Structure 1
């Protein structure tokens, strides 16, 4: 939306609260299509809000701008920039689906007196489930096995075609937030030894509950892990955290799983590591960009599993996300304490 000319006076003091029975206006990317809100959620949203699409807003900014009190971000859209914020004098809250907020300029939004909410609790369990699914699939070479089983050229199954044990292996978790901790809970059930590296150490009781050992130095975790799972938020400090040096500290039999953000891992270094046997394999739910260009070298490797950023992609989780966003918007518009508020 860059390049808009502000259609309205940006002074928030001129904003009038909508009267009568009119539902508060909420800006959404679209009501259908691959970048729109979930079609199965539209009726629920319309019980609480008047949904205004970006296309409708662009066609009549003067009339619709003052009606929009919230922005509903689904799948990272619509983008929120200064021009848009200046065009919405009554905006009170930006409600963003998912846990990550790296697509939002939090200080900029806060400077307009606008709150931000997200849905970390709604996505934590399904994302942890996918992390374990990727770990298991990579360890047991599930996709390769599937291709072997269905190939028209297959005449018999090689008895020495093997993967790696999960039970008894060491899992290193980089980022022991809500999602990382849920991965540790699942790993315990698989009888894995769990190591973790985090900005802050968790309570001893929390460590004991999942049998996790804290590694103050990332290097120690890297050298000891059979599986390395990355579950970090993307920040300037975590961008490129797993690079060429870190990959070379890992075991040549190790497998990397990334369920955080693509930019946390140096993709060029990862391609090199996978091509040269520095590590055995990788399983990624996230890349940069998404999707990758169709000629990207990661797409040509056999020792990698790629999924299309589906950590929270279950019917149940997406409904919880929608309900959480509705709760956050309504609380903000009513002046009540806002659940899952993200501070700049």
Structure 2
């Protein structure tokens, strides 16, 4: 194929910070950015991207069976991120389309560190305290009581590439760290070195002061944290989620925060993005939302962009694609 058209779909960051990535693609063919509705149907998506044979894809929209049934020639979908959640990989294969993701190690530190930042920001009520100071209300400072993390009990649900890094960061506070994962990849030596214990989900929820959600999203994990699971949690526990928004039942978590069962909830993802302005989470100062920016570090975005450009170059040169890297735990 001598003519390439590249669509960058719903990624507001690719080629923006590191413009050289966009310029490298322009040396290959026409490049155009598309910002499309997150819930666009597959047929309309295919029609919109007609003629584009390479796609750099963000976390939305859904490249589903309907999309592939209606799409013309498509060589590659290179995810500008980790996970295949929004791509029907089986339909892609039947269509003859290659699908790649950013290796998990590229995002590991960035996402895990952001989760800890969001949790600490919520626990110490940093945002409302700073806003009050900006308003010249120094005398209100006694309203912003927080909690310490040192010596507390931590839980990590999903101990893969990112979850394992979150567990490592939690371990520096000196408390017990529990992980719940049906198939943890961490070796026994790693568990011992970081004071980590493998337990079932209910045991984790009943015992932890701080709980981090890092599971991948599949049929079994949809609304993994629901009303029953919130009821199991320790009174006054904090919950944070840098995985997928649909891992929680938002109504159940909101009810938990409003009742005081949960002391707070911090998340970088919600089930439907972008977050509507009237979302109840935005009206509660015990809930902290960030706009899916866990990967927004210079180091991470550079690595993500490099991988996408490499995917495109390798496809047109008919070279093998690097699909994944293995996490190394020590």
| Matched-pair contact (CA < 8 Å) for 2:237–2:263 | yes
What residue is the counterpart of 1:243 in the other structure? Answer: 226
| Matched-pair contact (CA < 8 Å) for 1:85–1:109 | no
| Matched-pair contact (CA < 8 Å) for 2:68–2:95 | no
Matched, 1:281 2:264: yes
| Matched-pair contact (CA < 8 Å) for 1:28–1:36 | no
TM-fit CA distance, 1:335: 3.7
1:206 pairs with 187, 190, 201, which one? 190
| Matched-pair contact (CA < 8 Å) for 2:76–2:97 | yes
Query: SS of 1:27's equivalent?
Result: strand
Unmatched 5+ stretches in structure 2: 36-43, 326-330
What residue is the counterpart of 1:95 in the other structure? Answer: 78
Matched, 1:169 2:152: yes
Q: Which moved more, 1:261-270 or 1:178-187?
A: 178-187
What residue is the counterpart of 1:142 in the other structure? Answer: 126
| Matched-pair contact (CA < 8 Å) for 2:125–2:144 | no
What residue is the counterpart of 2:254 in the other structure? Answer: 271
What residue is the counterpart of 1:38 in the other structure? Answer: 15
Q: Distance in 2 between matches of 1:329 and 1:28?
A: 12
Question: Which digits, 9 at most, give the CA deviation of each residue in 1:99-131, with x for residues without a partner?
Answer: 132111121111112221111222221100101
2:60 pairs with 57, 76, 79, which one? 76
| Matched-pair contact (CA < 8 Å) for 2:157–2:179 | yes
Q: Distance in 2 between matches of 1:148 and 1:52?
A: 43
Number of equivalenced pairs: 308
Question: Which digits, 9 at most, give the CA deviation of each residue in 1:119-168, with x for residues without a partner?
Answer: 1222221100101101211222212322332334443643x852111111
Matched, 1:226 2:209: yes
Q: Distance in 2 between matches of 1:147 and 1:36?
A: 28
Aligned 1:26-65 pairs, distance under 5 A: 26-29=6-9, 35=12, 37-39=14-16, 40=19, 41-52=21-32, 65=51
Query: SS of 1:308's equivalent?
Result: coil
2:114 pairs with 110, 114, 130, which one? 130
Q: Distance in 1 between matches of 2:161 and 2:112?
A: 9
TM-fit CA distance, 1:53: 5.2
What residue is the counterpart of 1:322 in the other structure? Answer: 305
Q: Distance in 2 between matches of 1:51 and 1:219?
A: 49
Query: SS of 2:156's equivalent?
Result: strand
| Matched-pair contact (CA < 8 Å) for 2:129–2:141 | no
User: Which 4+ stretches in 1 moved above 6 angstroms?
Assistant: none
TM-fit CA distance, 1:76: 2.8
Query: SS of 2:262's equivalent?
Result: coil
TM-fit CA distance, 1:37: 3.9
Q: Distance in 2 between matches of 1:155 and 1:334?
A: 65
| Matched-pair contact (CA < 8 Å) for 1:176–1:198 | yes
Q: Distance in 2 between matches of 1:210 and 1:153?
A: 42
Question: Which digits, 9 at most, give the CA deviation of each residue in 1:196-226, with x for residues without a partner?
Answer: 01121332022223221101x2000001111
Unmatched 5+ stretches in structure 1: 1-16
Q: Distance in 1 between matches of 2:242 and 2:299?
A: 19
Query: SS of 1:280's equivalent?
Result: strand
Question: Quick one: structure 1 residues 272 and 156, their matched pair in 2 at CA, closer, same or farther if it must change by over 3 Å?
Answer: closer
Q: Which moved more, 1:131-140 or 1:73-82?
A: 73-82
Q: Distance in 1 between matches of 2:9 and 2:64?
A: 11
2:92 pairs with 109, 116, 122, which one? 109
| Matched-pair contact (CA < 8 Å) for 1:262–1:287 | yes
Larger Rg, first or second structure (1 or 2)? 1
What residue is the counterpart of 1:5 in the other structure? Answer: none
